Amino acid sequence: MFPRPLTPLAAPNGAEPLGRALRRAPLGRARAGLGGPPLLLPSMLMFAVIVASSGLLLMIERGILAEMKPLPLHPPNREDAVWRGTIPRPGRLSLDAGDSDLQVRQDVRNRTLRAVCGQPGMPRDPWDLPVGQRRTLLRHILVSDRYRFLYCYVPKVACSNWKRVLKVLAGVLDNVDVRLKMDHRSDLVFLADLRPDEIRYRLQHYFKFLFVRDPLERLLSAYRNKFGEIREYQQRYGVEIVKRYRAGAGPSPAGDDVTFPEFLRYLADEDPERMNEHWMPVYHLCQPCAVRYDFVGSYEQLEADANQVLEWVRAPPHVRFPARQAWYRPASPESLHYHLCSAPRALLQDVLPKYILDFSLFAYPLPNVTREACHQ
DSSP state letter for 11: P
| β-strands 141-144, 149-152 pairing | antiparallel
pLDDT digits (tens, 9 = 90+) for 148-160: 999 999 999 999 9
Parse the chain into domains and list their residue ranges. 131-373
278 Cβ neighbours under 8 A, 6+ residues apart: 155, 156, 222, 225, 226
pLDDT at res. 310: 94
The pair phi, psi for residue 48, each rounded to 5°, is: -60, -40
Q: How many whole angstroms separate alpha carbon 87 and alpha carbon 207? A: 6
Torsions phi, psi for 141 (to 5 deg): -105, 115
The burial of 251, by beta-carbon neighbours within 10 Å (0-12 exposed, 13-18 middle, 19 or more buried), is given as: exposed
What is residue 208's DSSP assignment? E
Confidence of residue 244 (pLDDT cuts 50, 70, 90): very high
Please write the tens of the pLDDT for every residue from 275-315: 999 999 999 999 999 999 999 999 998 988 998 899 999 99
**178-190 residue pLDDT tens:** 776 666 677 899 9
DSSP H helices, 64-91, are: 78-84
**Predicted local distance difference test score (pLDDT) of residue 100:** 67
C-beta separation of 222 from 279 below 8 A:
yes
